């Protein structure tokens, strides 16, 4: 310790007791309640929840809106044609129709049927990903409706797996099925 330093005078160290009157407390509580209500009713851009807002933020790019879903023809669970272009659903991988076993082929048929149902239920959006095409020339897009990925829906139903990389989507010829 330095010779020149000395502790502050005793009266500086006294704690000051703070007290609030009942009306001050009520006013503070009412102000907090008002601010909370005002925050709760601020428009969120149409998102119904925090999760939906996060998903919509992920797909906030300039998406192509498909207003005529009946024009989409399904190739398999993760591939379809629309207006002369072949699209690969970029966020999932489904079993191949010509599977290595009967179980894989059945699962591929179910995924294909389900994707057809999902696409034809109404308008959807096509969102570009980091690459425009895969090695087979298919356009890579995430397909959403109302901010939710249709691929995620297939994953939730057990008909697809989330694409985690390892080359371009479509590079893996088959999903290994363990019986």
pLDDT in the model for residue 137: 94
SS3 2: coil
pTM summary value: 0.59
Spatial distance between the Cα atoms of 177 and 103, rounded to a whole number of angstroms:
8
pLDDT in the model for residue 33: 66
Spatial distance between the Cα atoms of 118 and 105, rounded to a whole number of angstroms:
20
pLDDT in the model for residue 59: 47
Cα Rg of the chain (Å, integer): 28
pLDDT in the model for residue 49: 42
Q: Do 90 and 143 touch, CB atoms closer than 8 A?
A: no
User: What are the residue ranges in the chain where pLDDT is below 50?
Assistant: 1-2, 44-57, 59-60, 168-179
pLDDT in the model for residue 54: 43
Nearest-5° angle of CA 20, CA 22, CA 24?
60
């Amino acid at each position: 310790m330095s010779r020149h330093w000395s502790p502050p005078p005793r009266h500086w160290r006294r704690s000051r007791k703070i007290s609030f009157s009942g009306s001050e407390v009520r006013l503070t509580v009412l102000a907090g309640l008002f601010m909370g209500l005002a925050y709760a009713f601020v428009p969120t851009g149409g998102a119904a929840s925090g999760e939906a807002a996060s998903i919509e933020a992920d797909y906030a790019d300039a998406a192509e809106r498909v207003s005529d879903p009946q024009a989409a023809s399904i190739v398999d669970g993760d591939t379809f044609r629309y207006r002369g272009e072949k699209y690969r659903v970029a966020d999932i991988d489904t079993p191949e129709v010509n599977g290595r076993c009967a179980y894989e082929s059945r699962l591929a048929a179910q995924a294909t049927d389900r994707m057809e149902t999902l696409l034809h239920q109404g308008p959807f959006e096509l969102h570009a990903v980091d690459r425009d095409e895969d090695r087979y020339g298919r356009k890579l897009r995430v397909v959403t409706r109302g901010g939710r990925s249709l691929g995620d829906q297939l994953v939730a139903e057990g008909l697809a797996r989330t694409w985690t990389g390892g080359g371009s989507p479509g590079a893996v010829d088959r999903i290994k099925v363990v019986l």
